[in-house]
A and B are shown apart, each in its own frame.
Chain A
Amino acid sequence: AQSVTQLDSQVPVFEEAPVELRCNYSSSVSVYLFWYVQYPNQGLQLLLKYLSGSTLVKGINGFEAEFNKSQTSFHLRKPSVHISDTAEYFCAVGRMNTGFQKLVFGTGTRLLVSP
């Protein structure tokens, strides 16, 4: 079974500052990793995903994440945040090579960007 840990429930940051949202996973098999963003009262939108290949993954809205197999981590980063990045961010894991995905989500990190 897979599990995901997002240690930070809330991350406050000032506009234009860099940010890192942490995600660690546990799995006995190879996995795919995802970051989703959820704005208030909306569904989830995919930010980026790691399937294979380069461990540095670039996504939408200037976000990127790095897959670190030895540390079982997939931290999300952005060099300069905007007010509009205020949202809930979910890390998720799925089993590799099982066709369609059943995802296990972390508990989420609320990013609060202030002026």
Chain B
Amino acid sequence: DAMVIQNPRYQVTQFGKPVTLSCSQTLNHNVMYWYQQKSSQAPKLLFHYYDKDFNNEADTPDNFQSRRPNTSFCFLDIRSPGLGDAAMYLCATSTDANNEQFFGPGTRLTVL
């Protein structure tokens, strides 16, 4: 089945220790998104890739970076995680022709 896969599902890191979250998709969608969702809050868009073009949201901290080496993969790098970065991180994909975003299961990040 075509899908959006996120690894790992649960990630524990230490304060200040860089961490990378992974997203892959078999849908061949050209747009990929990263959202941050804190407990009991709405998903908040961090950035998206339209093909290879990176688009950062204005209020996304510099601590968050992303890489998209090819159509299928997209990574979220947190350079120096703080306690406030503990959250669920959701990856989603879409095409530029349809109106639905397909979400992965998310990675829950814990910062100790």
Q: Which residues of A contact B (CB under 8 A)?
A: 32, 34, 36, 41-46, 49, 51, 90, 94, 99-103, 105-108
Q: Which residue of A lies closest to B29 (CB)?
A: A100
CA distance A107 to B42 in the complex (A): 5
Residue among A43, A51, A106 making CB contact with B106, cutoff 8 Å: A43
Residues in A with CB closer than 8 Å to B56 are none
Contact A101 B99 (CB under 8 A): yes
Contact A94 B42 (CB under 8 A): no
Residues in A with CB closer than 8 Å to B97 are 99
Would you list which residues of chain B between 1 and 47 have a CB under 8 Å from chain A? 4, 6, 9, 30-31, 40-45
Could you tell me the dominant secondary structure of chain A's interface residues?
loop
Contact B96 A49 (CB under 8 A): no
Using a Cβ cutoff of 8 Å, how many contacts connect chains A and B? 58
Residues in B with CB closer than 8 Å to A42 are 105-106
- How many positions in chain B have a CB within 8 Å of any CB in the partner chain? 29
Q: Which residue of B lies closest to A32 (CB)?
A: B99
Of the A-B pairs whose beta carbons lie under 8 Å apart in the complex, a sample of 22, sorted by A's number, is A34-B100, A41-B9, A41-B88, A41-B108, A42-B105, A43-B92, A43-B105, A44-B103, A45-B103, A46-B100, A46-B102, A49-B100, A90-B43, A99-B96, A100-B31, A100-B50, A101-B100, A103-B45, A105-B43, A106-B42, A107-B41, A107-B42
CA distance A34 to B103 in the complex (A): 14
Residues in A with CB closer than 8 Å to B60 are none
Would you call B65 an interface residue if the criterion is a C-beta within 8 Å of the partner chain's C-beta atoms?
no
